[in-house]
Amino acid sequence: MLSALFFYLFAFVLIASALMVVSAKNPVHAVLFLILAFFNAAGLFILLGAEFLAMILVVVYVGAVMVLFLFVVMMLDVSFAELRSGAVKVLPIGLLVGFIFLFELLFVVGAWVAAPKLVSDAPMPPPSEVSNTRALGELLYTDYVYLFQAAGLILLVAMIGAIVLTLHHRRDVKRQNISDQVARNPETAIEVVKVESGRGLQ
């Protein structure tokens, strides 16, 4: 009874916060409602016994992505009036795309049929003495270790590509030159000047 009560509580707050994300006029409020939705989704994962997914959802999405979005939205000087005026122009296209997505979802849900041997062919759950985190780690680093490493390389290439595309060298900005700094010696780095009393450097 208690688990069912928490399930309905988390589910209700999750749906309400998701609706507020798409209906909030202030982007900062939308990001805050999205953080609330992620927390409630993590609560649902805990009720299902998937504590690792709940931890990843809170640490990665709430702790990193959503906080980054919040700081970006708060620091950028965005003219929301211009955004709203531009959104009105593309409203028919947005409604058309939304109806297409709705039709696809209804088609998938209506045509979905469970396989006859779905329950019998389902993988066996891990033993009770092994936690979900340990079972997932053993699976990732044994059977799927190459795919896991490939995913890491893809993310690394994407990160390097983003840095290369956004890095611009401006000539009017002073930058460090490590080779010049290392090659300096006392003769070129220090200049001894004799200053007369009561007079400054010209």
Helix/strand/coil (H/E/C) assignment for every residue in 23-79: HCCCHHHHHHHHHHHHHHHHHHHHHCCCHHHHHHHHHHHHHHHHHHHHHHHHHCCCC
What is the rounded distance in angstroms from the CA atom of residue 17 to the CA atom of residue 3? 21
pLDDT at 202 over 80: no
The candidate with the shortest Cα–Cα distance to 40, out of 62, 70, 73, 64, is 62
Q: pLDDT tens digit string along 89-107?
A: 788 888 899 899 999 888 8
pLDDT value at position 138? 85
Q: Mean pLDDT check: name the lowest of 54-68, 108-122, 152-166.
A: 108-122
CB 33 within 8 A of CB 52: no
Burial class (CB in 10 A: 0-12, 13-18, 19+), 54: buried
The predicted model gives 15-28 an average pLDDT of 86
The candidate with the shortest Cα–Cα distance to 51, out of 114, 129, 140, 136, is 136
Q: pLDDT tens digit string along 37-59?
A: 989 999 999 888 888 888 888 88
**Residue with token string 């409203």:** 91
Query: Which pLDDT band, with edges at 50, 70 and 90, does 121 fall under?
Result: low
pLDDT at 4 over 60: yes
pLDDT value at position 153? 95
Query: Which pLDDT band, with edges at 50, 70 and 90, does 12 fall under?
Result: very high
Query: From the CB of residue 57, how many other CB atoms can be counted at a distance below 10 Å?
Result: 19
Helix/strand/coil (H/E/C) assignment for every residue in 96-165: HHHHHHHHHHHHHHHHCCCCCCCCCCCCCCCCCCCCHHHHHHHHHCCCCHHHHHHHHHHHHHHHHHHHHH
First vs last C-alpha separation in the chain? 85
pLDDT value at position 120? 61
Q: pLDDT tens digit string along 76-90?
A: 666 666 666 667 778
The predicted model gives 26-44 an average pLDDT of 87
The predicted model gives 4-30 an average pLDDT of 88
Mean predicted lDDT score pLDDT of the chain: 81
Query: Which pLDDT band, with edges at 50, 70 and 90, does 29 fall under?
Result: confident
pLDDT at 32 over 60: yes
> Residue 129: left (phi > 0), alpha (psi -120 to 50), or beta?
alpha
Is the pTM higher than 0.75? The answer reads no
CB 45 within 8 A of CB 96: no
**What are the residues whose beta carbons fall under 8 Å from the beta carbon of 136, sequence distance 6 or more?**
52
CB 77 within 8 A of CB 83: no
The predicted model gives 151-165 an average pLDDT of 91
